[in-house]
């Protein structure tokens, strides 16, 4: 039972890393657009 839990944790971490690799560039791009939009709006 403990081994299964460990395997689930490892699988979850790998899934999270894969999701990060896929989505982080999109999130950074979106964040850059939003922050530039905010600064442009303030001026």
15-39 tens-digit pLDDT = 988 988 888 888 888 888 888 776 6
The helix/strand count (H/E) of the chain reads as 1, 0
Give the pLDDT confidence score for residue 40 in this predicted structure: 59
What CA–CA distance (Å, rounded) separates 10 from 14? 6
Q: Which long-range contacts (CB under 8 A, 24 or more apart) does 3-6 make?
A: none
Give the pLDDT confidence score for residue 26 in this predicted structure: 87
């Amino acid at each position: 039972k403990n081994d299964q839990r460990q395997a689930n944790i490892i699988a979850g971490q790998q899934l999270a890393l894969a999701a990060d690799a896929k989505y982080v560039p999109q999130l950074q791009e979106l964040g850059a657009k939003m922050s530039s939009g905010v600064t442009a709006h303030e001026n």
